[in-house]
A and B are shown apart, each in its own frame.
Chain A
C-alpha cells in the first residue's frame, strides 16, 4: 500500500507542476456601488464588451497557444479602504496577472502601493492625479494627468471665453479635485487672469450655498468646479438660485450621462475638458461606440472608453510578452508605442503616464457637444 503511494508520487508532482493555464485572469477594481456607481457601471459594460470580443476570437495569443481571458470585477465602492481590500483579494486570492483600476485617484492611490509591492502591473483608466504613477514601476494609466487638464481649462477660459476673473469651488477631501483646482488657479493666474474666490467643501456635503454666496459677492466671470458628476449639477443649481451668472467649467469628472439627468437645463452652456468625444472622427472609436450603443443602449462615456483601452493595452502586452507572467507583461506595457485606442494613441515614454491630447466639450440641450481639441 505504502509502496504503491510512493510510486504514484512522482506522477502527482508532475501533474501539479504542469501549468493548468486554461484561462488568463485579469482583475478589475471599479465603484459599482456608492456615489459614483454610474462610472462603475460604464466600466462593467466596457469590460463585458472586451471579454466577449477577445474570447469570440478564441482568446489572447500567449506564446504558441490561444488562452481565453476572464476578467474578475470587484466593487471598491469608491472608498480607498475598500480599494485596498479589493486589490489584496485580486492579487492573493484570485491570483490575477494584472489589474485594471481603480477609477478615482483617491482609490488608485490606495490600491497602487499594494500592486507595486506584489509586482502586479496596473492600468488605471480614469485616475488623473499625478501621484498615482509617481515613483512606481508597475502602475500605468490610460488617461492624461491633471496638470495638463488644468492647463487646458485655464487656457480655454482665458483665450476662448476671454475671462479676466475666475473662482473655484472644490472638494478638499479628494485628491483629484484638489490637484486640478490648484493647477487651474496657478495656470489661470499665469495667463493673466485673477482668481477672486477659492472655496472648498468636504465629500458628501450637499449644501454649498454659503460658499457660493461668498463667490457671488466676488462676481467672477467663470466658476471652475473640478468635481464629480453627482455633485456638479447641484452646485450649479444652487449657484443659479443664488443669482450667480458665471459660466461654469469642469474637468473629466463631469463626464457621465447622470450629469444632465440630475441637472437638466442648468447644465446647458457650460464646458468641461475630457478624454474623448463621441463626435471625434476615429475609426476605432466609431466601432466601439456603435457596439456599445447596440448592446447597452447608451453613448459610452470617457470612463467606458478608457476602460476599453486599458483592457486592450493589457491584452496587447500579454501577447507581446508571449507568456502569462506579470513581470513580462509590465515590461511589455512600458514598451508600448503608438497603441491605437478609442481615446487616441498611447505611448509610454518611460513612466506610466501616456502623452495624450484632450478635448473641450460643451453641454447643449442636455447633450455633450465637441467644442475643440487641445494637444500637448
Chain B
C-alpha cells in the first residue's frame, strides 16, 4: 500500500508546528531586527502552560484551553520584552542577542525546577479516531487530532495575515518594520507596537507548544532543537516575511519527511540541511526575503 498521502499529512503537521514558531522569529526580526533566541523556549513554556491547564482544569474544553494558554504565554512574552530587552533596544546588537540566550536558559531551568525534567504529554483533548473518509477514499490512516492540528494552525496563520494586512495595528507594525526611526515621529506608539508583536509571536508559539505536546511530547529542553529548526525555516523563507516563514516551515518539514520516506532516516538532517544551504546559495535573502542594501 502506498503511504505517500499519510506521509504528506505527517509533513503538514510538523510543518504547521514549525510555522507557528517561525512566525514569532520572523515578526520580531522584521520589526526590531532582533533575533530572539529565547523564542524556542517560549514555545516550550506554552506547551507546559497547556499541560498545567489541562491537568489542573480537567473540565476545560480545548476551544477554551487553547486561547487561554495563548493569552498567558503572550503575557509572559510581553513581560520578557519589557524587563529584559527594552532597555537594551539601543545598546550594541550583541548585548541583546546574549540577553535572549540568557532568558532562554532561565526559562528552561525554571520549568525543569518547577515541573521536573521528565518527558511529558499533554492529556489528549482532541479526538484520536481515524478520519474515515480519508481512509476509504485515499487509503490514508490519519487521525482527527492530526487533521485538526493542521487546520487550526492554518486558521491561526490566516488570522495573523488579516491582522497584519487589514488592521490599524497591523499597518503600524508594517510601518515600524519599514522605518523604526521615522514612524514614532508620526505619532505611533513604538513601545505598544513592539509589545503587540511579542504578544502575537508568543501566542502563536504557545499554540505550537500545545499542538506539539498533543501530537508528540514536551520536555523543558525541547525549545532548543525545535527553536533552531524553526529559526532555520524562517531564514529559508526570508526572515522578516510572514509568508516566507510559513513557506520555509512547510518546505523544511516536507524535505525531512520525504528524506526519511524515500531515502534513509540516517540522512534526514544531512539531506534536509544540505538542500537548504543550496537554496540559500541561490536566494541569499531567503525565498520571500527582501535584500537590504547598505548605503555607503
Residues of A within 8 A of B (CB): 33-35, 37-38, 172, 199-202, 204, 206-207, 209-211, 213-214, 216-217, 219, 230-231, 234, 237-238, 241-243, 258, 262
B128→A213 contact, CB < 8 A: no
Q: 18 new A-B pairs (CB below 8 Å) besides A207-B10, A219-B1?
A: A35-B119, A201-B265, A202-B269, A206-B212, A206-B217, A207-B14, A207-B215, A207-B216, A210-B7, A210-B268, A214-B3, A214-B265, A216-B141, A234-B216, A241-B128, A242-B6, A243-B130, A262-B121
Interface members, chain B 101-120 (any A CB < 8 Å)? 112, 116-120
Instruction: Check B257 for interface membership: any CB of A closer than 8 A.
Output: yes
B3→A211 contact, CB < 8 A: no
Which chain A positions have C-beta within 8 A of B178? none
Which chain A positions have C-beta within 8 A of B1? 217, 219
Interchain nearest-CB distance for B135 vs A (Å): 8
A241 to B266, CA, bound (A): 23
A204 to B217, CA, bound (A): 11
A209→B13 contact, CB < 8 A: yes
B257→A206 contact, CB < 8 A: no
Out of B143, B260, B265, name the residue touching A241 (CB < 8 Å).
B143
A37→B121 contact, CB < 8 A: no
Please name the residue on chain B nearest to A242 by beta carbon: B141
Q: Please give me the 10 A-B residue pairs with the lowest Cβ-Cβ distance, nearest first.
A: A243-B141, A210-B260, A209-B10, A206-B216, A217-B3, A210-B257, A230-B119, A200-B265, A199-B265, A241-B143
23 contacts between A and B (CB under 8 A): A33-B112, A35-B117, A37-B117, A172-B265, A202-B268, A202-B269, A206-B216, A206-B217, A207-B14, A207-B215, A207-B216, A209-B14, A210-B261, A210-B265, A210-B268, A211-B265, A214-B7, A214-B265, A217-B2, A217-B3, A230-B118, A231-B119, A242-B141
Instruction: Check B39 for interface membership: any CB of A closer than 8 A.
Output: no
Which chain A positions have C-beta within 8 A of B268? 201-202, 210
Which chain A positions have C-beta within 8 A of B130? 243
Which chain B positions have C-beta within 8 A of A216? 3, 6, 141
A242 to B140, CA, bound (A): 9
A134 to B6, CA, bound (A): 44
Which chain B positions have C-beta within 8 A of A234? 119, 121, 216-217
Instruction: Check B41 for interface membership: any CB of A closer than 8 A.
Output: no
A214 to B262, CA, bound (A): 9
Which chain B positions have C-beta within 8 A of A37? 116-118
A243 to B216, CA, bound (A): 16
Which chain B positions have C-beta within 8 A of A262? 118-121, 217
Instruction: Check B222 for interface membership: any CB of A closer than 8 A.
Output: yes
Interface members, chain B 1-44 (any A CB < 8 Å)? 1-3, 6-7, 10-11, 13-14
Which chain A positions have C-beta within 8 A of B256? 210
Q: A234-B121, A243-B130 are known contacts. Are A211 and B260 too (CB-CB below 8 A)?
A: yes
Which chain A positions have C-beta within 8 A of B117? 33-35, 37
A210→B118 contact, CB < 8 A: no
Q: A38-B118, A238-B216, A242-B141 are known contacts. Are A213 and B265 too (CB-CB below 8 A)?
A: no
Please name the residue on chain A nearest to B13 by beta carbon: A209
Which chain A positions have C-beta within 8 A of B11? 210
Q: A201-B265, A230-B119 are known contacts. Are A210 and B10 too (CB-CB below 8 A)?
A: yes
A204 to B117, CA, bound (A): 13
Instruction: Check B81 for interface membership: any CB of A closer than 8 A.
Output: no
Most buried by A among B130, B217, B256, B269: B217
Which chain B positions have C-beta within 8 A of A38? 118
Which chain B positions have C-beta within 8 A of A34? 117
Which chain B positions have C-beta within 8 A of A172? 265-266
A200 to B270, CA, bound (A): 13
Please encode chain B, from 65 to 91, with 1 for each CB lying within 8 Å of some chain A CB and 0 for all others: 000000000000000000000000000
A241 to B143, CA, bound (A): 6
Interchain nearest-CB distance for A144 vs B (Å): 27
Which chain B positions have C-beta within 8 A of A33? 112, 117
A213→B222 contact, CB < 8 A: no
A262 to B213, CA, bound (A): 12
Instruction: Check B219 for interface membership: any CB of A closer than 8 A.
Output: yes
A258→B118 contact, CB < 8 A: yes
Please name the residue on chain A nearest to B14 by beta carbon: A207
A204 to B221, CA, bound (A): 9
Please name the residue on chain A nearest to B141 by beta carbon: A243
Interchain nearest-CB distance for A43 vs B (Å): 15
Most buried by A among B118, B212, B221, B269: B118
Which chain A positions have C-beta within 8 A of B10? 207, 209-210, 213
Please name the residue on chain B nearest to A231 by beta carbon: B119
A268 to B26, CA, bound (A): 44
A221 to B222, CA, bound (A): 32
Out of B112, B143, B222, name the residue touching A206 (CB < 8 Å).
B222
Which chain A positions have C-beta within 8 A of B217? 206, 234, 262
Which chain B positions have C-beta within 8 A of A237? 121
A238 to B124, CA, bound (A): 13
Q: A241-B143, A243-B130 are known contacts. Are A213 and B7 too (CB-CB below 8 A)?
A: yes
Please encode chain B, from 200 to 242, with 1 for each CB lying within 8 Å of some chain A CB and 0 for all others: 0000000000001001110101100100000000000000000
A238 to B6, CA, bound (A): 13
A214→B260 contact, CB < 8 A: yes
A37 to B7, CA, bound (A): 33
Which chain A positions have C-beta within 8 A of B219? 35
Which chain B positions have C-beta within 8 A of A202? 268-269
